[in-house]
Amino acid sequence: MSDWQEKLERLRAKRARFLQMGGPKRVARQHALGKLTARERLDLLLDPGSFVEIGLLAHHQSSHPDLKDKFTPADGVVTGYGTVDGRRVCVAAYDFTVLGGSMGEVGEGKVARLRRMALEWGVPMIWLLDSAGARIQEFTGSQFAKAGDLFREQVIMSGVVPQVAALMGHCAAGTAYIPALADFVPMVKGRSSMALGGPHLVKAAVGEDVDANELGGSRVHCEISGCADLEVEDDEACIRAVREFLSYLPSNNREKPPAIPCDDPPDRYIDDLTEIVPTNPRQVYDMRHVIRRIVDHGHFFEIKPRWARNIVVGFARLDGHPVGIVANQPLYLGGVLDVDAADKAARFIMLCDAFNVPLLFLQDIPGFLVGTKVERQGIIRHGAKMLYAVSEATVPKVTVIVRKAYGAGYFVMCGRGYEPDLLVAWPTAEISVMGPEGATNIIYRKEIAAADDPDRVWAERTAEFRKLIDPYIAAGHGYIDDVIEPGETRKVVIQGFRMAATKQVHRPWKKHGVMPV
């Protein structure tokens, strides 16, 4: 009996010691920085009592003189599995209070094991990142030759299980590539950053003086680089965003996304869409108001809201079923597509298709941006990504032409040629390879130049073209399925998705396509 007592006490004491993380001083410092600890974050993320930890008692095994006397509980990363809204996830929370959350050999072994479990079990993998990157004492020197497998494994996981990388501290190098390969990357405002090389490395390598926020803070990645998906106020908001993101996706690519009961009537008529969207094509409006009127309870979870604002992408529910929305945004640049907008949309479409989330396209697209600047940026190649993604997508697709549907913009936004299961237009729809003015200028250029009254001829020719741009012509040919009242949009798209719910598409065998990047 007393033998047992001693053994149990030893275990309990060990556990208590490891659960202290980097100790009270470092935990206080973490709080003073406005951050929660790794374990507090897990408490918020996972359903109460669901966490099963793996490797609490792990610690570094290095004999490096710098590390010899240092204690690294859980080796700086808390790993395990638990449930979010009753659904299993694997999660690795880097612990900044333990050697700056640096990635050591033992800790990375734990995370590697977790990644394999996520893949074998078919459950999402979540990283809560607050880490200085590789623990240099353990990796400097040519033993580095064995490193790097985590990114390859992430690629293998891509499209099989959802991957979430939340940036909750300043991360560099290794911890910056994890988000690059993840499906959802929220960043805590002002307290997180990611960069291939942190400020010290940048100073040493290229002589630039820059702080972590300026180099790779939330504003940089959520507004300029597009490397992150959502800037959130604090740790709590970050965890809420992770939970919400997961709610729209299945646990793996063999399952359907989870539906929830919905008391927003599927046939709800929307009275005020005609007040939001002007019939005058010169005037703009905020497409997000249209989206919120259509979806369940007006709730729209926007992805990358501040980057490439000329296109809007995000998740919502229709009659309780998750749906991915891709919509042009007239409020920004008139909704014209440029290189960043095409990238943003293409990646989102691929994400939805990989995880069986149906896609709703809302078109008001004047076309792709033209000119020397965008050609030099490779607009052709970037636009082609959208063509590629929308063509490859075999999930149910429904397209609503709200107003403009011009040129290749109509294609990439899932026009007829891209096999939408339902394609409808509002009476305001303008479908054409180009606008009347552009067509007149090109086709009648010589006639107008030679005319006695060029303005009159131009106006006449333009008016002739304008008559050809009419949704009833497209409907008359059977190229679009219907012209609908704006107010009917919710009812009609829900019917479309219901019809297509059992959709199966068979494609020729291939190893993989060659996506333009």
Partner 1 sequence: MIEVKAMMVGVVVRIDAGPGTAVAEDQPIVTLESMKMELPIPSPRAGRVREIRVQVGDVVQEGDVVALLEEQEE
Question: Which residues are at the interface with partner 1 (CB under 8 A)?
Answer: 223, 233, 281-284, 286, 306, 330-334, 336, 366, 373, 435, 437
Sequence letter at residue 325: I
Q: Are 172 and 211 in contact (CB under 8 A)?
A: no
Find the shortest distance in angstroms from Cβ 334 to partner 1. Answer: 5
Q: Please, is 280 exposed, middle or buried when counting C-beta atoms within 10 Å of its C-beta (0-12, 13-18, 19+)?
A: exposed
Find the shortest distance in angstroms from Cβ 344 to partner 1. Answer: 16
Find the shortest distance in angstroms from Cβ 333 to partner 1. Answer: 5
| Residue 437 or 464 having the CB closest to partner 1 | 437
Nearby residues of 499 by Cβ (< 8 Å), 6 or more positions away: 421, 422
| Residue 199 or 436 having the CB closest to partner 1 | 436
Q: First-to-last CA distance in the chain?
A: 67
Find the shortest distance in angstroms from Cβ 277 to partner 1. Answer: 14
| Residue 239 or 312 having the CB closest to partner 1 | 312
Kindly tell me the sign of the dihedral angle through the C-alpha atoms of 47, 49, 54, 60.
positive
Please state, in angstroms and as integers, the Cα–Cα distance from residue 243 to each residue in 223, 453, 496, following that order. 23, 65, 28
| Residue 367 or 496 having the CB closest to partner 1 | 367
Find the shortest distance in angstroms from Cβ 331 to partner 1. Answer: 6
Find the shortest distance in angstroms from Cβ 282 to partner 1. Answer: 5
Find the shortest distance in angstroms from Cβ 507 to partner 1. Answer: 37
| Residue 190 or 487 having the CB closest to partner 1 | 190
- Identify each DSSP E strand in 85-222 by its residue range: 87-94, 125-129, 163-167, 170-172, 186-188, 193-195
| Residue 146 or 282 having the CB closest to partner 1 | 282
The backbone torsions φ and ψ at residue 94, rounded to the nearest 5 degrees and listed phi first, read -70, 135
Per-residue tokens: 266: 């599927």
Give Cα 190 distance to the centre of its chain: 20
| Residue 123 or 345 having the CB closest to partner 1 | 345
User: For residues 25 and 162, what is the distance between their CA atoms, to the nearest angstrom?
Assistant: 36
Torsion of CA 133, 135, 140, 142, to 10 degrees: -80
Find the shortest distance in angstroms from Cβ 341 to partner 1. Answer: 12
User: For residues 46 and 86, what is the distance between their CA atoms, to the nearest angstrom?
Assistant: 9
| Residue 137 or 440 having the CB closest to partner 1 | 440
